[in-house]
Amino acid sequence: MRMGGKAEAVNAGVSDDSRAKAGTAVRVVELPGERLAEAASVLARAFHNNPNFVDLFPDPRARSRALPALQGTCLRDALGFGRVYAAVRGASGGGELVGVAAWLPPGGFPLSPMRQLRALPGMARILAAAPRSFPRLARFGANVTRLHPALPYWYLEVVGVDPGARGLGVGTRLLEPGLTRADEAGHHCYLETMTERNVAWYRGLGFEVDRAGVFFTPGGPPKWTMIRTPRQPRP
């Protein structure tokens, strides 16, 4: 998630070998609103040891408190103004959430003043959880926002897979609905990834590096911004 004095979310890449293990049933559905808190917890676990969030929240206890609030704020906004997909493993009537991906449509970023206002309770929870981190988080958000492309695009705000479900192809399956939607509309897709090893994975999905090794906080880890050109639908 990115903060520039407003509620904004950051994408973080996921490590995924795109191979589904035999006997593992994973479905991708649109996230029901009543499972928002559960989805935020999945993302918090996915990103707890991510270099970017370790940099933003050096204290592990503060990170554990801040990440669910931060991801929940992102998902709440995306549920209302974009698309949120969940990977579910297990029973068809419910099942365990093992991954989440949130997208904003063209024109959905940056957040409007009304959406920023609605995100204030979440911002307050993040501030209470990690007050010392908030200024650095705000700088991070401002620096990320200025790099967004000047063209219509679907923005992959966040995608994360629960650590216990990595290597099942969950990340790839989570992104398929959003990529298909963008292709059908002829729109680009845009993301930032926080780890270099994920660049090759995103390339396999059609993304190309826009900017490499950029820094959004002084002394922080590098990031990569990536853009995907819409693919022509098959005849």
> What pLDDT, on the 0 to 100 scale, is given for residue 93?
59
| pLDDT given at position 233 | 61
Instruction: Please give the sequence-ordered ranges of beta strands (E in DSSP) within the chain, or none if there are none.
Output: 2-3, 7-8, 26-30, 83-89, 96-104, 153-161, 188-193, 207-214, 223-228
Banded pLDDT at 17 (limits 50, 70, 90): very low
> What pLDDT score does 168 carry?
86
DSSP-derived secondary structure letter, 220:
-
Q: Report pTM.
A: 0.88
Give me the pLDDT at residue 11, please: 41
Q: Which residue has the tokens 């307050």?
A: 124
**Given this model, what pLDDT does residue 57 score?**
97
pLDDT of residue 4: 33
Q: pLDDT-derived band of residue 167, with 50, 70 and 90 as boundaries?
A: confident
Rounded to whole angstroms, how far apart are CA atoms 207 and 80? 26
pLDDT in tens, 66-114: 999 999 999 999 999 999 999 999 866 579 999 999 999 999 999 999 9
Q: What pLDDT does residue 232 have?
A: 76
pLDDT at position 153 over 50: yes
pLDDT for position 24:
60
Could you give the CA distance from residue 187 to residue 5 in angstroms, rounded to a whole number? Answer: 28
**Strand residue runs (E) in 40-197:** 83-89, 96-104, 153-161, 188-193
Domains of the chain (ranges, CATH numbers): 2-228 (3.40.630.30)
- Type and span of the H or E element at 182: helix 170-185
Above 50 in pLDDT, residue 174?
yes
Predicted confidence (pLDDT) at residue 1 exceeds the cutoff of 50: no
The owner of tokens 């995924």 is 16
What would the mean pLDDT of 129-139 be, rounded to a whole number? 93
